[in-house]
Amino acid sequence: MSERSDGPTELAADDVTGDAGDREDSAITEPLVAQDAQTPADATDFEGPRRRARRERAERRAAQARARAIEQAHREAKRRASGRIVAEPKRAARGVVRGLKMALATVILAVVGIGLALVLYFTPAMSARSIVVTGIGAVTREEVLDAAGVRLGTPLLQINTNQVADRVATIRRVASARVQRQYPSALRITIVERVPVVVKDFPDGPHLFDRDGVDFATAPPPPALPYIDVDDPGPSDPATRAALQVLLALRPEVAGQVGEIAAPSVSSITLTLGDGRVVIWGSTDRAEEKAEKLAALLTQPGRTYDVSSPDLPTVK
């Protein structure tokens, strides 16, 4: 009797324990299940409307990109199947188009310019129908035209103005020449004649020299032109250059009184005035200062005026 009563008692205890364990497991599981069931709603609420909108836009863009990729793949597959794979033309950039237009306009202008230049160069459309000569005095127009060697009717673009000027400058009395085209049909030649500064007698007659010492003419000298006394006058002679430097430094009222200038050397220059008075100049050093002192000394009576030392000018 006691054994029978023990068995049911133990089973009852196990049942109680098992029910308690089941209740504990259910108690533990139910909150977890409830928590898992609530997670999406809580996460959705936590995501927020802005983040959800961004996510939805991103998903739509991704879906559109996939759709375009699939469509492009279908097109490529069709082209390969038909054997016509043609690269789609790319739209040219705006800067490239502008650059091409400018290049085309430049080429057109260049072609037009070259064509016009060829027409003017090889046709008498703009030719030298007249030649204008200015600056002449002692030099005649005929001398200038002969030296220029330009035929009337020559297209202006075929005339080398520098070469024409060089030919005209070979005339002895011409110091410089300038040649200009005057469109549509004229050529202008402007000359500067040499001006005599001193004269020197030679067996064939008096020779005129300009301020550079160039012997440019054999002719009677102008009135009151001073004579120069040097051994070998010329633009490369040091004594000639020194004498001319002194003459050009003199005051106009004094230069007009000089009848002769002698330069046996560059350091012993003397002037003889028209009335016979003598000026001892010395070298070309301090020429401007000497010229100023001489202008003041000539107001004093005397026969010899020494300005070789401008610090101590003397009159005798």
Residues forming CATH 3.40.50.11690 domain(s) in the chain: 196-315
pLDDT digits (tens, 9 = 90+) for 220-229: 999 999 999 9
Q: What is the DSSP string of 92-153?
A: PPHHHHHHHHHHHHHHHHHHHHHHHHHHHHHSGGGB--EEEEES-SSS-HHHHHHHH-PPTT
pLDDT grade, residue 13 (50/70/90)? very low
With 80 as the cut, is the pLDDT of residue 252 above it? Answer: yes
pLDDT digits (tens, 9 = 90+) for 188-203: 999 999 999 999 999 9
CATH number of 97-193, picked from 3.10.20.310, 3.40.50.170, 3.30.450.70, 3.30.360.10: 3.10.20.310
Residues forming CATH 3.10.20.310 domain(s) in the chain: 97-193
40 three-class SS: helix
For 89, the token pair is 């033309």
pLDDT digits (tens, 9 = 90+) for 264-308: 999 999 999 999 999 999 999 999 999 999 999 999 999 999 999
pLDDT for 207 equals 97
Q: Which CATH fold topology does 196-315 show?
A: Rossmann fold (3.40.50)
pLDDT digits (tens, 9 = 90+) for 82-122: 765 545 555 656 777 788 888 888 888 887 777 666 565 66
With 90 as the cut, is the pLDDT of residue 132 above it? Answer: yes
Q: Which residue has tokens 């046709």?
A: 123
Average pLDDT, the chain: 83
Tally of helices (H runs) and strands (E runs) in the chain: 8, 12
DSSP 311: T
